[in-house]
Structure 1
Amino acid sequence: MPALFLPILAGAANLLRLPALAAFFGAIFAQIVAFLAQWFTVKTAMQLGIVAAVVSLTVGLFITVKTLITGIGVVAPPQFTQAMSLIIPDNLPLCISAIVSANIVRWVWIWQVHFIEMYASIR
């Protein structure tokens, strides 16, 4: 009697092999997608952190320069303030902020190129 069930068991094993293989490949695919999502999330967070740092530095520099100019204008005599208005433009804080921001962006770009070259030499 047990020999009667042997073809049925062999057929059932063949049927069960395909879903197990699909589950195995599905699990591997899910692990790869999870790894890539985590990797891209870390890269995006790094880039957003760099942008936030540049914006924070620019705003801080702008406020500092504006405060210094305003502080000098308060304690300086009116003739000095009038004379400086002929030399110093009204948009001086914006100009200085743009120059410093450009230098920071250049430094970040050089740092990223260095990081990419270093990473490429490891591979």
Structure 2
Amino acid sequence: MPAFLLPIITGAASMMRFPALIAFFAGLFGQVIAFFAKYLTTKVAMQLTIVTAVSGLTLAVFAAIKALILAISVVAPEGLIHGASLVIPDNAAVCLSSIVSAHAVRYVWVWKVYFIESFAQGR
């Protein structure tokens, strides 16, 4: 009685090779994707660290300049404050912090270019 099942079992055994082949390629593809994801995640983390550092530096510079201007205005005589308000604009702190931040961004850019060039030369 079970003799009629023999061709079905043989056909099923040959069909089972395809899922194993598909599983192999899926595992290989998964490993390649994991490698590139790890590589890109490291690069993105470094870029986000740099952006965060520059943003934090900008905020710290702005707060320091604002605090210095407020400290000077507290101890300066009233006539000096009035005269300075005629010459110094209201957005002086923002302008000064933008200048300092631009210098910081340029420094980071020069540092990155130096790092890339030294990495390319094998130093």
Deviating beyond 6 angstroms after TM superposition, the runs of 4 or more aligned structure 1 residues are: none
**Paired amino acid for 2:82:** Q
Q: Which amino acid aligns with 2:56?
A: S
**Count of residues in Structure 1 that have an aligned counterpart in Structure 2:** 114
**Cα distance in 2 for residues equivalent to 1:98 and 1:40:** 31
Name the CA distance, whole Å, in 2 between partners of 1:35 and 1:108.
28
Q: Deviations over 1:43-71 (max 9, x none)?
A: 11111111111111111111111111111
Q: How does 1:81-92 map to 2 (within 5 A)?
A: 81-92=81-92
CA distance in 1, matches of 2:24, 2:111: 41
Structure 1 stretches of 5 or more lacking a match? Answer: 1-7
Give 1:22 deviation, angstroms.
3.1
Q: CA deviation at 1:32?
A: 1.1
Deviation of 1:77 (Å) = 1.0
SS at match of 2:29: helix
When the two chains are superposed, the root-mean-square deviation of aligned CA atoms in Å is: 2.4
| Cα distance in structure 1, aligned partners of 2:24 and 2:116 | 35
Alpha-carbon offset, residue 97 of structure 1: 0.9
Q: Which residue of 1 aligns with 2:6?
A: none
* 1:1-123 equivalences in 2 (<5 Å): 12=13, 17-122=17-122
Q: How many angstroms apart in 1 are the aligned matches of 2:120 and 2:25?
A: 30
Amino acid of the residue matched to residue 34 of structure 2?
Answer: A
Deviation at 1:120, TM superposition (A): 2.8
| Letter in structure 2 aligned against 1:106 | R
Q: Is the 8 A contact 2:73 2:81 kept in 1?
A: yes
Residues 21 and 117 of structure 1: CA distance in aligned 2, closer, same or farther (over 3 Å)? farther
Q: Percent identity?
A: 51
Relative distance call for 1:108 and 1:80 in structure 2 (3 A) is: same
CA offset at residue 16 of structure 1? 5.0
**Structure 2: gaps of 5 or more residues:** 1-8
TM-score (norm 2): 0.76
Map Cα deviations across residues 10-45 of structure 1 (whole Å, 9 max, x no partner): xx5x65554433322321211110111111112111
**SS at the partner of 1:109?**
helix
